[in-house]
Amino acid sequence: MANELMNRFGFDPIFDRMARRLFSPSDSDNDYADFGNLKTDIKESDKDYSLKIDVPGVDKKNIHLTYQNGVLSLNISQQHATEQKDEQGRVIASERSHGVMSRSYELPSVDKDNISAQVSDGVLSVTLPKVTETEDKDGHIEIQ
């Protein structure tokens, strides 16, 4: 019975869906096709680190950022549900998925009290200002 139901919708539950996502993602899969990649651009200047991370289709309430011990950690948890109905409005297929992704970036000497982040057009922008260094970088102590 389960095989007949799956054949009626035209896919094998294990392999066909995976192949469709890899080779031709459908509109309902677009938000999740690149979910695991979290493509990131990092720029460093004398004053700060600047990160741009692709997070298409992710609401900012599902993004969690922390900075501890020189490491910026990004955690994303996203849920998605779809239903297909026939002409009479009866549900013929219902799917739910939940994706979790995390990534860490080692960025030392950051002023963690002044980190800023915002999401716009599917891109998470994070600015991490560096702490000001002392004049004596080699640790030499002047004896008076």
Average pLDDT in the 66-88 region?
90
Confidence category of residue 6, pLDDT binned at 50, 70, 90: very low
Tell me how far CA of residue 4 lies from CA of 10, 18, 53, 89, in angstroms.
10, 19, 43, 21
Pairing of the two strands 48-54 and 123-129: antiparallel
Average pLDDT in the 4-32 region?
47
Average pLDDT in the 71-83 region?
88
Average pLDDT in the 28-39 region?
55
| pLDDT over 70 percentage in the chain | 67
Structure tokens at 89: 């409005």
* CATH number for domain 36-129, candidates 2.60.40.790, 3.90.79.10, 2.60.40.10, 3.40.50.620: 2.60.40.790
Task: Give the model confidence (pLDDT) of 109-144 as tens digits.
Answer: 999 899 999 999 999 999 999 998 654 456 665 666
Tell me how far CA of residue 44 lies from CA of 51, 66, 143, in angstroms.
9, 19, 35
Share the mean pLDDT of the chain: 77
The boundaries of every CATH 2.60.40.790 domain in the chain are 36-129
